[in-house]
Structure 1
Amino acid sequence: MSKSAPAAPLADRGEGAPEIDERLFVASVAKAMKVLEAFDKTAATLSLSDIAIRTGLGRSASQRFIYTLERLGYLDRDAQTKRYGLSRKVFRFAQNASSSNQGLEAAYPQMRILSEKTRETISWVEVDGADIVIIATIPSTHISSVNLPIGTRFPALSSSSGQMLLAHSAPSHVEKVWKASASSVSQRTKARDAAEMMRILEAAKAVGFSVTEKNMEQGSISVSAPVHDRAGRAIGSINLSTLTTRYSRETAIAELAPLVLEAATKATETLAS
């Protein structure tokens, strides 16, 4: 399947997405969220003009939303530069989401044990549309390591965690995620279409874990295994990330995968008890 440009996030696409009920949909809330979402790791602070351009709302509308969000305490304004940034109040949402996450609560003790055994970067990962999101991380104690800050996103189908979680999804859902994914997914997985991607996922599901490699400044290897809730749904995964300078793919499969799988199994048992 040929792909040229990154597709829109799955949640933003008309295809396969729930239709909007205009009687219930509050457009002004959606616009306010656009303003908050304009800030990211590449733009921690933005001017009014920056926000207007990034959101497409126009200068006048952007100014009204910015003023409201600042008065509510969700944006801070630097008096000297007149630039805006997300306030510390926004962190309440992340804190509330983490504290109410039963999967993370069950997995974290096992993540801590896995961290102590391997000294590698250990993360709790969940799927969001066509992406995976790092929800929690225990950093590696090695000087050279993989850094995965909370909130980091990667395409799901080309990541080990995403593969394990989507392997438990219906083929029709995998096809939707495939269509919503960037061209880099087919390049990294070597899958030519959704059916071939599904076969890769089924192979990972059969062994209970997935291993992927990524070339960054240093080559990295990612090993993931899924955690299931009482209903048997794969709700998240425990991920271990290391460098190819310490482990080859073969040694990661032989030495690390069993440890990750054990941690995920024990977390699943905790949720079932």
Structure 2
Amino acid sequence: MSDTPPKDPGKRRRGRPRQGADADDFTDDRPFVSSLARGMSILRAFRAEDRMLGTQVLAERTGLHKTTVSRLLGTLTKLGYLRYMPEYGKYAISNQVLTLGYAVMGRFGFGELMRRRMEEIAAQGDCVVALSVRDRLDMMFVELIREPTAIYLSLNVGSRIPMAESAPGRAYLFAAPEKEREAVLKELAQHHGEAWQDHVEPALTASLDRMRRQGHSDSFGEWKPDHNAIGIPLYDPLTGDIYTLSVGGNASVLTPERLRKEHLPKLLSAAQDISALGGGPTE
């Protein structure tokens, strides 16, 4: 007979919500504030290429009623996260939002270490080095470094790329907890429709199998025909949140062999440095 005491069904399980979590991911024993979720959906609706957005576009992107969007815009503007542009009748993300990201990147010197490592990789030339996080069914660049001589796509910090076809996305899916990965795959299947079974899922499955054997993700002409990339997952030393570090560029210059020989060792070395960071939370 086991000496282990039975679990108390009334006891709340503590722990962080996973990255990219939505309202349906929370169980009844964890509080969920709908108004806060709607407010966050407004901020998430802004994309890197958006200078300003109006109420109608935000309502369409969030699925919220225009009246609700209007109230949330007023609150977010008063809090300083948005700026109202009266001459256009639209709203823009303010620099106050950057403070949230800097609070994360500054932890343990994470941001400084990553930038230094990324600059070392980019110095090899002809490549773009990116640090990414999951944003629903995309990966968003939170840091991007490239040499002026590199041939690259028009991507910047805040740009999003598709999860299933890209090296960062595949690295993230490989590292994600099983429950999260299964949920994301179901969403991806709905998002891609018929293309999912035709070619997206088989290519993704093959890539994840290769990552189990090779220790890194890849995307050779699958996201963009003339683009090659490899990537690895990184873990925040405190929260366990998943980042991905990737290097990519023009396929005619960055062949799979060159990526693995010249850039992969530096990616793996950066991952080792990050894993060595740590320390408990400060008061």
**For this structure pair, what is the TM-score category when the shorter chain's length is used for normalisation?**
0.7 to 0.9
User: AA paired with 1:245?
Assistant: S
- Provide the aligned length of Structure 1 versus Structure 2: 256
Select which of 6, 21, 24 maps to 1:11: 21
Task: Give CA deviations for 1:244-273 in whole Å, capped at 9, x if unaligned.
Answer: 1312334433443344334434444x4379
User: AA paired with 1:83?
Assistant: K
Task: Give CA deviations for 1:18-71 in whole Å, capped at 9, x if unaligned.
Answer: 23568x433222232233333324543223343344444434333332223223
Q: TM-score, normalised by structure 1?
A: 0.74
Question: What corresponds to 2:215 in structure 1?
Answer: 208
User: AA paired with 1:271?
Assistant: L
Matched-pair contact (CA < 8 Å) for 1:110–1:264: no
Taking structure 1 as reference, are residues 168 and 12 closer, same or farther at Cα in structure 2, changes over 3 Å only? closer
Question: What corresponds to 2:103 in structure 1?
Answer: 96
Task: Give CA deviations for 1:81-124 in whole Å, capped at 9, x if unaligned.
Answer: 22222222222222223223765444332222112223521112
Matches within 5 A, 1:1-273: 11-12=21-22, 14=24, 17-19=25-27, 24-41=31-48, 43-100=50-107, 103-128=110-135, 130-142=137-149, 144-181=151-188, 182-183=191-192, 189=200, 191=202, 197=205, 200-214=207-221, 219-227=226-234, 235-268=242-275, 270-271=276-277
Matched-pair contact (CA < 8 Å) for 1:121–1:147: no
User: AA paired with 1:95?
Assistant: Y
Unaligned runs of 5+ in 1: 1-8
**Mapped partners of 1:188, 1:89: distance in 2:** 42
**Mapped partners of 1:39, 1:136: distance in 2:** 18
**Mapped partners of 2:268, 2:230: distance in 1:** 9
Matched-pair contact (CA < 8 Å) for 2:150–2:249: no
SS of the equivalent of 2:253 reads coil
Unaligned runs of 5+ in 2: 1-18
Q: TM-score, normalised by structure 2?
A: 0.72
Taking structure 1 as reference, are residues 200 and 92 closer, same or farther at Cα in structure 2, changes over 3 Å only? same
**Mapped partners of 1:171, 1:144: distance in 2:** 36
| 1:243 Cα deviation after fit | 0.5
| 1:222 Cα deviation after fit | 0.8
**Mapped partners of 1:204, 1:107: distance in 2:** 22
User: AA paired with 1:191?
Assistant: P
Task: Give CA deviations for 1:149-169 in whole Å, capped at 9, x if unaligned.
Answer: 223333434322333343344
Matched-pair contact (CA < 8 Å) for 2:217–2:232: yes
**Mapped partners of 1:230, 1:40: distance in 2:** 28
**Mapped partners of 2:159, 2:28: distance in 1:** 28
Moved over 6 A (4+): 215-218
The percent of aligned pairs where both chains have the same amino acid is: 21
Matched-pair contact (CA < 8 Å) for 2:232–2:267: yes
User: AA paired with 2:202?
Assistant: A
Task: Give CA deviations for 1:125-150 in whole Å, capped at 9, x if unaligned.
Answer: 23455443322111232152244422
User: AA paired with 2:214?
Assistant: V
Comparing 56-65 with 180-189, which one deviates more in the overlay?
180-189
Taking structure 1 as reference, are residues 88 and 169 closer, same or farther at Cα in structure 2, changes over 3 Å only? closer
User: AA paired with 2:26?
Assistant: P
User: AA paired with 1:77?
Assistant: Y
Greater RCO (CA < 8 Å, at least 6 residues apart)? 1
SS of the equivalent of 2:254 reads coil
Taking structure 1 as reference, are residues 41 and 102 closer, same or farther at Cα in structure 2, changes over 3 Å only? same
**Mapped partners of 1:185, 1:207: distance in 2:** 25
